Amino acid sequence: MKRLAYRGISFNEAQEVIVDQRYTRDEPRDFQNGIKARSVFGSGIYLINDIETVASYAFCHAEVEGDPLAMVLKQELTLQNPFILNYKYTEEKLRKKALNWKYGKEESPFMGGTSSVDSVEVMKQVGSVIKEYLLAHHYDGIIYHINDEIIYYVAYNQDEQITNIEPDFFFRVEDLKKYSASSLRRSYKQAK
C-alpha cells in the first residue's frame, strides 16, 4: 500500500535528510511552550497527511533548534501489512492488547493507569511493547485515522518503507504565526 505522507522538521535537518534519503531522528521530542512529540507506538518514523498539522511540527522542530526556517518534506510511504487504528479499533484497545500479550492480564506493570500516565519513561516502555507486539504479529507499521481528515502513519523500517524524500515547501518560522500553512505552501509553489 503506497501513500504520500509528510514530515515537518527544521530546515537544517531537512537538508541532511534529503541528501541521505533517510531520517536520523525519530520521536520523542520536547519543544518549547510545553508541546511534546511522543512515540506512543514505539520507535519509528511518524508521518502525517495533513499540511496544517505537519507545518506545526516543522515550526516546533525549527524553534527548539533555533533554526529560523522550517521545512515540510514529502515522501512515498509503502506499508505491506499496516495495523489500522480508527474509531472502531482505538489506540487504547491496541495498548491493552499489547500489554496483555506481553505481561498477561494480571502481570502488566502498566495496567490500571495507562490512559492517564504522564511519565515519559513509562510511555516509552509502553510504546516499545506496542511495537514489539505489532512486529511479532507481522505488522510493519500503523495507519491511524485520527478522524475523517487526519491520518498518522508509523513506519518501523524506514529504509524499506520510505522513498523519494523531497521538499514540499519551507517557510520562515515567524511566518507561520501570521499565515496558514496552506497559504505559505501556495506561495512557495508559486515562487518555485
The pLDDT score that the predictor gives to residue 114 is 45
With cell 523519494, the residue in question is 164
Burial readout 60-95 (b: 16 or more C-beta within 10 A, e: otherwise): bbbbeeebebbbbbbbebebeebbebeeeeebeebb
Q: Could you tell me which of 192, 190, 182 has the C-alpha nearest to residue 72?
A: 182
The pLDDT score that the predictor gives to residue 91 is 94
The pLDDT score that the predictor gives to residue 106 is 65
User: For residues 60 and 72, what is the distance between their CA atoms, to the nearest angstrom?
Assistant: 12
Contact 153, 77 (CB under 8 A): yes
The pLDDT score that the predictor gives to residue 117 is 46
DSSP lists the bridge partners of residue 119 as none
The pLDDT score that the predictor gives to residue 85 is 97
The pLDDT score that the predictor gives to residue 191 is 87
Would you tell me how many other CB atoms lie within 10 Å of the CB of residue 100? Answer: 15
User: For residues 132 and 134, what is the distance between their CA atoms, to the nearest angstrom?
Assistant: 6
What is the chain's pLDDT, residue by residue, as a tens digit (192 residues)?
999 999 999 999 999 999 999 998 765 544 444 545 557 899 999 999 999 999 999 998 899 899 999 999 999 999 999 999 999 999 999 999 999 999 987 656 665 554 444 577 788 889 999 999 999 999 999 999 999 999 999 999 999 999 999 999 999 999 998 999 999 999 998 987
Instruction: Say which DSSP state 34 is in.
Output: G
The pLDDT score that the predictor gives to residue 123 is 81
Q: Hey, what domains does the chain have and what are their CATH numbers?
A: 2-191 (3.90.175)
Determine whether 136 is exposed, middle or buried from the number of CB atoms within 10 Å of its CB (0-12, 13-18, 19+). exposed
The pLDDT score that the predictor gives to residue 118 is 54
Q: Is the peptide bond before 28 cis (omega within 30 degrees of 0)?
A: yes
